[in-house]
Amino acid sequence: MKQLVNLFTKEVLRLYRHPRHGKPYFASVKEYYNEVINNYSSKDRINALKRPTPLAKIPITEEELREINPWDGAEQYVKPIESVTTLFDERAECVLKCDKNTLDEHNKIFKGTEYEYCVHKWPKPFIGNPFTSKVILLSLNPRFKDESHRMIAETMNIYYCEAINQQLLEQMRFNTRSLFCSDRKLGNYKTTIYEAQGLVDGWYWNNKIKDFRDKAEKIGLPKISPKDKQRDPLYENLSIIQYVGYASPHFEKVPKGKKFPSQYFTKLLIQYLAFNSDKVFVVARSKDKWRSFIGKEIWDKLEQDHRLICRKGGGRMHGLTETTGLEKVDFVRLVDIMK
């Protein structure tokens, strides 16, 4: 009876979000259920594991997700970039404290290779705002290109750096509604902030979105004046969630099947959006990896609601058009959503 009362008390406190102390919720949610399971006798433990609490019945709100967001706040990082006018700093270690051990282990194995994560720039776990967008693209991790993320970033005008940094930090806080920076110019400079950000990012997502827009305009997507880039509905209606928030030239999973603690938050975020919104998810690469990561319950929910679009064929090629792997019916559907 004492064990039963203790379990009941813990469940009530969890459901009503008793103020948390110590480790944030995103890291302890797994530990919580492990603790519950350990209260069962060894005879019943296997059966308990076979009957996990359905995710749909685990309540969580957008406000709580914002509160436990591990990416929000410089104090969460080992050694954040201190200056708002710096995009790349060799002295910085922009890795979450909770992720440090896992990342260090990964980088020790892949040191000097294209799979090593760069921690001298801000991570980018999200692009755009998953809470306000209509379509969410599930990607693997941000790209790192030395010639743009380091060389260009180190020589760029400090006012552009400050504007780009502001966009990066606001994205990690879910406080922006756009994929990209504003297209306004600074002072007498001819380059816009949008163009400066494109240079630093190697124009990767800019080109992907332009490819989608060029083809979508042929089947009815309204044209946008080049001077009104920031008003483009594509920039507000599309967001990106990364499997891993840290940048590397190429993606490679963490050895021994380990996950970054921050990925527990990513799964909670996707869980919330799956059960509490009508957003459409696009898996343009690594379908099996994402299905395994988010779990059968979330995946089946999205499929049953016809809110999951997967690229046909294998490979890791990003794209939102027919020529980059989507079925025609899915491409047309995305255009209708973006209008």
256: left (phi over 0), alpha (psi -120 to 50) or beta: left
Quick one: 189 and 100 in the same domain? yes
pLDDT of residue 291: 95
Residue 271 lies in a domain: yes
Three-state secondary structure call for residue 262: helix
Quick one: 35 and 88 in the same domain? no
How far is the CA of 183 from the CAs of 88, 186, 198, 226, 268, in angstroms?
22, 10, 11, 9, 33
Quick one: 185 and 133 in the same domain? yes
Q: How far apart are the first and last CA of the chain?
A: 58
Which residues, in sequence order, are CB contacts of 278 under 8 Å at separation 6+? Answer: 305, 307
Joined tokens for residue 297: 């319950």
**How many C-beta atoms lie closer than 10 Å to residue 33's C-beta?**
15
Residue 62 lies in a domain: no
Which residues, in sequence order, are CB contacts of 218 under 8 Å at separation 6+? Answer: none
Q: For 313-332, write each residue's pLDDT tens digit.
A: 655 556 788 777 788 899 99
Q: What CA–CA distance (Å, rounded) separates 129 from 170? A: 9
Q: What CA–CA distance (Å, rounded) separates 213 from 231? A: 14
Long-range contacts of 264-267 (CB under 8 A, 24+ apart): 264/26, 264/27, 264/29, 264/30, 265/26, 265/65, 265/68, 265/69, 265/70, 265/71, 266/125, 266/241, 266/242, 267/293, 267/294, 267/295
193-200 helix and 158-172 helix, angle to the nearest 10 degrees: 80
Residue 204 lies in a domain: yes
Quick one: 105 and 248 in the same domain? yes
Specify which residues 16 forms β-bridges with. none
Residue 67 lies in a domain: no
pLDDT of residue 93: 97
pLDDT of residue 24: 42
Half-sphere exposure of 281 (CA within 13 A, CB side): 29
Stretches in the chain below the pLDDT threshold 50? 17-30, 32-33, 43, 45-46, 48-49
Q: What are phi and psi of 211, to 5 degrees?
A: -60, -45
Residue 154 lies in a domain: yes
Quick one: 49 and 85 in the same domain? no
Q: For 66-97, write each residue's pLDDT tens digit.
A: 888 889 988 899 999 999 999 999 999 999 99
Joined tokens for residue 4: 């039963």
pTM: 0.84
pLDDT of residue 45: 47
Quick one: 17 and 113 in the same domain? no
Quick one: 88 and 218 in the same domain? yes
Q: What CA–CA distance (Å, rounded) separates 152 from 185? A: 18
Joined tokens for residue 253: 């999973």
pLDDT of residue 64: 79
Q: What CA–CA distance (Å, rounded) separates 118 from 87? A: 12
Quick one: 140 and 19 in the same domain? no
Quick one: 21 and 165 in the same domain? no
Joined tokens for residue 187: 């002072």
Q: Which amino acid is at 262?
A: S
Residue 216 lies in a domain: yes
Three-state secondary structure call for residue 154: helix
Quick one: 157 and 8 in the same domain? no
| Residues 87/196, Cβ–Cβ less than 8 Å | no
Q: What CA–CA distance (Å, rounded) separates 194 from 244? A: 24
Residue 68 lies in a domain: no
Tally of domains in the chain: 2
Burial of 226 (0-12, 13-18, 19+ CB in 10 A): exposed
Quick one: 122 and 10 in the same domain? no
What is the domain extent for residue 45? 2-53
Specify which residues 308 forms β-bridges with. 281
Q: What's the distance, CA 317 to chain centroid?
A: 18
Residue 163 lies in a domain: yes
- Go through the chain and tell me how many residues it has: 339
Quick one: 220 and 139 in the same domain? yes
